[in-house]
């Protein structure tokens, strides 16, 4: 099958070089995995010319790992929209889910409507807005629409109104968008990966961010902790999988993860981030559709959660990529059929015509009856 890999090649230096280097690794890793499986791939560095390039190409499918357009994550939903307009089937979530989930406030509104616990919050468009008296310190301040923990630094947690106003001003000034202020849940940070679609969607082993020798009292998986190797925050965390949870906690978290995945329309793969209160109650922070799936290149790097959790369930990195790819094929009612090797044919002059080893044919298949894989946790 001829597969387009939609990614980015970041050629200019930016303030988030660490994130962009990671995003480039993903595209190359996916390309390598698909080619080893026998697929033909074409790499697209997504920019203003990509629409016409795709329209004039003969690609049959797209593996979409593009998270930026012109350097902004706010345009990520438009990449999926472009594929929809071109009628090219693709991996991952659609434009509506991507657009919804990049806005943390919209996600919280939807979760609350469905009775799913998420930290109490308030949105600030100005530092002078009065704090809701029902919100209790400590609070954490985030940009409404950013990913990869951009804007969530070690100073994001505040304990008084003076620091709150200062942090709100920083978000408004730096990112030119509203500030989301949440009650800070001071407990374990758990993240859960989900693979698949519908009734067969399954949950990977939960992972836990373990804070060790943390430089402050407020333990958060900040931008420094994720990306900046020369900081105390980066050396002060590790990721443990499976997470240290009681059985009932694990069951509850997995069940909620599947609910959130379904409610927000996530497809093929996704990641749900939780915070547990000191009493062990799980609060959903956000859903990441099309989350990071970088291979772990060395033990000195913070791993992406889904590849780590997949490896703990016995799945290699290449198997994970093919799992996502096959889930997307199945969702689009497509199958890859390997045709049998034709017999050699004798010609009149006695020579033998050598047939090709295999022929790959894409076929439209009828929707299949799905069965549950894990009846304990599948909705």
Whole-number CA gyration radius for the chain: 23
d(Cα 289, Cα 77) in Å, to the nearest integer?
11
Fold classification of 188-206+241-379 is D-amino Acid Aminotransferase; Chain A, domain 1 (3.30.470)
Least confident of 1-10, 35-44, 57-66, 119-128: 1-10
Q: Where are the domains of the chain?
A: 2-90, 188-206+241-379
Average pLDDT over residues 297-310: 81
Fold classification of 2-90 is Rossmann fold (3.40.50)
Question: How is 239-258 classified by DSSP, letter by letter?
Answer: EESS----HHHHHHHHHHHH
Q: Which of 330, 356, 333 is nearest to 343 (CA)?
A: 356
* Integer CA distances (angstroms), 310 to 79, 157, 247, 295, 304, in order: 26, 32, 19, 11, 10
Q: What is the model's pLDDT at position 354?
A: 41
Q: How large a percentage of the chain has pLDDT more than 90? A: 66
Instruction: Tell me the average pLDDT of the chain.
Output: 86
Does the pLDDT at position 280 exceed 70? yes
Question: What is the separation of C-alpha 14 from the centre of its chain, rounded to a whole number of angstroms?
Answer: 22
Torsion over CA of 243, 28, 42 and 92, rounded to 10 degrees? Answer: 20
Going by pLDDT thresholds of 50, 70 and 90, the confidence category of residue 335 is confident
> Which is higher by pLDDT, 235 or 15?
235
Q: What is the model's pLDDT at position 22?
A: 64
Output the pTM of the full model: 0.85
What are the pLDDT digits (tens) for 181-239? 999 999 999 999 999 999 999 999 999 999 987 777 889 998 888 878 888 888 889 99
């Amino acid at each position: 099958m001829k597969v387009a890999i939609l990614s980015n090649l970041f050629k200019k230096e930016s303030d988030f070089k660490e994130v962009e280097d990671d995003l480039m690794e993903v595209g190359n890793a996916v390309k390598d995995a698909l080619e080893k499986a026998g697929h033909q791939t074409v790499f697209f560095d997504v920019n203003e010319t990509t629409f016409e390039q795709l329209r004039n190409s003969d690609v049959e499918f797209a593996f979409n790992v593009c998270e930026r357009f012109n350097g902004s994550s706010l345009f990520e939903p438009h990449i999926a929209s472009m594929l929809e307009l071109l009628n090219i089937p693709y991996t991952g979530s659609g434009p509506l889910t991507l657009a919804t989930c990049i806005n943390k406030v919209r996600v919280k509104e939807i979760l609350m409507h469905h009775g799913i616990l998420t930290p109490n919050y308030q949105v600030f468009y100005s530092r002078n807005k009065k704090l809701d008296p029902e919100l209790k310190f400590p609070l954490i301040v985030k940009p409404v629409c950013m990913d990869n923990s951009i804007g969530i630094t070690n100073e994001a947690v505040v304990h008084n109104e003076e620091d709150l106003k200062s942090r709100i001003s920083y978000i408004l000034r730096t990112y030119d968008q509203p500030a989301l202020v949440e009650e800070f849940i001071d407990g374990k940070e758990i993240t859960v990966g989900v693979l698949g679609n519908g009734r067969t969607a399954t949950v990977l082993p939960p992972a836990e961010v373990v804070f060790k020798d943390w430089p402050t009292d407020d333990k958060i998986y900040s931008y420094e902790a994720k990306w900046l190797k020369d900081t105390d925050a980066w050396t002060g965390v590790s990721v443990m999988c499976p997470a240290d949870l009681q059985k009932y906690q694990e069951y509850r978290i997995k069940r909620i993860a599947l609910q959130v995945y379904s409610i927000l329309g996530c497809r093929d793969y996704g990641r749900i981030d939780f915070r547990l209160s000191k009493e062990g109650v799980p609060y959903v922070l956000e859903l990441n559709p099309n989350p990071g799936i970088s291979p772990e290149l060395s033990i000195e790097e913070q791993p992406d959660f889904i590849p780590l959790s997949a490896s703990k369930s016995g799945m290699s990195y290449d198997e994970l990529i093919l799992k996502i790819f096959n889930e997307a094929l199945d969702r689009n009612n497509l199958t890859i059929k390997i045709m049998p090797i034709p017999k050699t044919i004798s010609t009149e002059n006695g020579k033998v015509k050598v047939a090709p080893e295999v022929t790959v044919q894409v076929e439209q298949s009828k929707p299949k009856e799905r069965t549950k894989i894990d009846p304990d946790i599948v909705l």
